[in-house]
Structure 1
Amino acid sequence: MTPVQKLAGLVVLILVLMAAAAGVTWQVQDWRMGKQLAVQAGLHQDDLSAISNAAAAQARTEQDKRLALEHHLAIQDQQHTKELSDEKHKQAVIRDRLATSDLRLSVLLAEDPASSCNVPAAAGTRGLVHAARRAQLDPAHAQRIIAITDAGDQGLIALRACQAYVRAVAPGVLSTP
């Protein structure tokens, strides 16, 4: 073996040892980095789990609020429907009583300012009456007046229902009377 061959063999041996050292170092670094990446992945997974749990809890809370609001609105709707039904029943009873002449509507008559005393000139055998003078309305006119007040009552009930809905859905939008 010539000295050049020995030198070349030594250089090849050194290169092989350097390559082996680099490979071993690379493998050790890979193990260390793999371990660090595994730890980071575990921490990341823990963070993701915590975020997912918080989001799920918030979603459940919002769903519970929505369900409570829907239940509250359903109860209010039932209440307003009952009020409307009761009011319609009352109006029907009044219309029936007007139709059967069981009930008569009357209006106050305008008084002459000169005679502001309600005492009749001569007292009759029935006694003294101090009431204001009234005139009875025609039943057809009374029916129209009842229909107008019925529509007004239904409108007021609907308005209260709308206000209650807005107060329930968007608190603070309407000031409470």
Structure 2
Amino acid sequence: MVKAQQETDSQLSIITTNEDGRLRKQTLAVKTYTDALQQQVETLRQQGLRAASGLGHRDDLDAISNAAAAQVRADKAKRLALEQRLSASEETHYRKLSDAQKDQARLRDRLATSDLRLSVLIAEDPANGCSVPAGTQAGGVVHGGARAQLDPAHAQRIVAITGDGDQGLIALAACQAYVREVTAGR
């Protein structure tokens, strides 16, 4: 059980590291985008100055500067909205991951204390002649064929594998949501 917990902690650390790297890349991309916009504003401003100095039209220069400033404000508002959507999405996926880990820990604890036993259906093949004794079911109603209880160690391994799968699916959903948010703004 300690090994499974260590593996879970290790995988959580990997997911956290990957998420931190993704956020750093996102921050760098946003900064690069903002810097490019600022460079555009400066270029437009310089073009406006050259045009105004050649023609002496201060009104044209003001219009160009105002248009550039309005474009920068609009782009900053878009960037802020995107950052807020990504932050909300990240919190949602982190909460799902945390809930899945808590559920997995509860299930592991119940299996460790024999409060819960996992069982499998036994295929009844009369031609085979091999019979596995069915586990006793205390107070439970089982629909279907005969069942055999799994060894607690095997049950722990199965729970660990399904927990890894759950974490992978949650991480995949988070990545897909991120891509949808980033590409939706284009």
1:112, distance to aligned residue in structure 2 (A): 1.7
Which position in structure 1 is the counterpart of 2:35? none
Q: What is the aligned counterpart of 2:147 among 130, 134, 149? A: 134
Q: Which amino acid aligns with 1:138?
A: D
1:54 aligns with 2:100: no
Q: 1:161 to 1:130 in 2, by over 3 A?
A: closer
| Structure 1 residue 99, shift from structure 2 partner | 0.2
Aligned partner of 1:162 in structure 2 is 175
Structure 2 counterpart of 1:96, which letter? D
Deviation of 1:130 after TM superposition, in Å, equals: 6.0
Distance in 1, matches of 2:119 and 2:95, equals 30
Change (3 A) 1:141 1:65: same
Q: Which of 57, 64, 70 is matched with 2:77 structurally?
A: 64
Please name the residue that 1:25 is paired with.
none
Aligned residues with identical type, % of pairs: 67
Q: Does 1:106 align with 2:156?
A: no
| SS, match of residue 114 in structure 2 | coil
Deviations 1:15-61 (A, max 9, x none): xxxxxxxxxxxxxxxxxxxxxx99x41xx221111111111111111
One-letter identity of the residue aligned with 2:101: K
Tell whether 2:100 aligns with 1:94.
no
Matched length: 121
Change (3 A) 1:96 1:130: closer
Q: Gaps spanning 5+ residues in structure 1: where?
A: 1-36, 115-128
Q: Deviations over 1:109-162 (max 9, x none)?
A: 112267xxxxxxxxxxxxxx8631111000000000000000000000000000
Show the counterpart of 1:150: 163
Change (3 A) 1:65 1:105: same
- The amino acid across from 1:51 in the alignment is I
The alpha carbon displacement at 1:169 in A equals 0.3
TM-aligned CA distance change 1:111 to 1:70, over 3 Å: same
Aligned AA (2:70): A
User: Could you tell me how far 1:171 is from its partner in structure 2?
Assistant: 2.4
Structure 1's consecutive aligned runs of 4 or more residues displaced over 2 angstroms after TM superposition are none
SS at match of 2:115: coil
Q: Does 1:79 align with 2:92?
A: yes
CA-atom RMSD, angstroms?
A: 2.5
Q: Which has the larger radius of gyration?
A: 1
Query: SS at the partner of 2:80?
Result: helix
Deviation at 1:172, TM superposition (A): 9.1
**Alpha-carbon distance change, 89 to 77 in structure 1, aligned in 2, over 3 angstroms:** same
Q: How far apart, CA to CA, are the structure 2 residues paired with 1:130 and 1:58? A: 66
Secondary structure at 2:88 match in 1 = helix
**1:7-46 counterparts in 2 under 5 A?**
40-41=55-56, 44-46=57-59
